[in-house]
Amino acid sequence: MGLGINVWMFVSQLVSFLILFLVLQRWGFPILIKTLDNRAHTIQEGVENAERARKELADAQQRIEGLMLQARQEAQQTLAQAIKAGEHLRTEIEQEARDRARQIVDQAEQRIQQEVAQARIELREQVANLAILAAEHVIGTNLDTATNRRLVSEFVAQSRGL
């Protein structure tokens, strides 16, 4: 034939191709498919793992941010509280100091007055004694009786100028 088609050559090519196919089908393709599927599986797993890791990382980041925000807020709050407490303490101490000062001043004044009163009493007594002594001297008798002493004291008390 002009096209060179020859039964034997045709059959030999046909058989050759079929042998190639059967060998590949029996030994070649199963291992190929298995390898490809394994790879696809591994890659998918890897991608999923990476996705999960990224998600976890993002979660952790978010959590850390939340914690930091919380910490910052707490610090702020604590600081504010401390400032407030300090302020309070200051006013308290100030108040106390002021009170104390006033108290001291009051006490001092009181004592002075007491002392003044005491001095007055003593003075009065001394004046009375002096007066009685002077009167005894003048009269020459003993006037030192309870009645007289009261009379003189009253007199001295009436004379406020002393």
Partner 1 sequence: MLWQLPHIGVPVDTLFYIPFGNPNGFPVSNTLIITWVTILVIFAFFFVAFRKPKLVPRGIQNLVEWTFQLLLNLCEEVAGKEDGRRFFPWVATIFMFVLLANWWEIVPGVESLGTVEPGVHGAQHLGPIYFLFGTNSNHLTAWLRPPSTDLNLTLAIAIISVVITQIYGFRKLGAFQHITKYLNYHEGVMGILVGILEFVLELARIISFSFRLFGNLFAGDVLLLVMAFLVPFAGATAFYFLELFVGFIQAFVFAMLTLVFMTLAVTSHEHPEEHDAPTSGHAAAPAHEPIPASTAA
Q: Give contact residues for partner 1 (rule: CB under 8 A).
A: 1-6, 8-10, 12-14, 16-21, 23-25, 27-29, 31-33, 35-36, 38-39, 42
Of the pair 23, 47, the CB lying nearest partner 1 is at 23
| Minimum CB–partner distance for residue 68 and partner 1 (Å) | 41
Least distance to partner 1, CB of residue 67, Å = 40
Handedness of CA 24, 30, 36, 39 (dihedral sign): negative
Please give the single-letter amino acid code of residue 40.
A
> Token pair 């007594």 is at which residue?
125
Question: Closest separation between CB of residue 60 and partner 1, Å?
Answer: 30
CB-nearer residue toward partner 1: 14 or 71: 14
Q: Which residues of 144-159 are buried (b: 16+ CB within 10 A; e: fewer)?
A: eeeebbeebbeebeee
How many whole angstroms separate alpha carbon 128 and alpha carbon 151? 9
Closer CB to partner 1, residue 6 or residue 81? 6
What does the DSSP 8-state code read for residue 6? -
Least CB distance from residue 25 to partner 1, whole Å?
A: 5
Q: Which is nearer to partner 1, 35 or 126 (CB)?
A: 35
Task: Report the alpha-carbon distance of residue 73 to residue 79 in Å, rounded.
Answer: 10
Min separation Cβ 47 and partner 1, Å: 15
CA distance linking residue 69 with residue 56, whole number of Å: 20
Nearer to partner 1, 43 or 162 (CB): 43
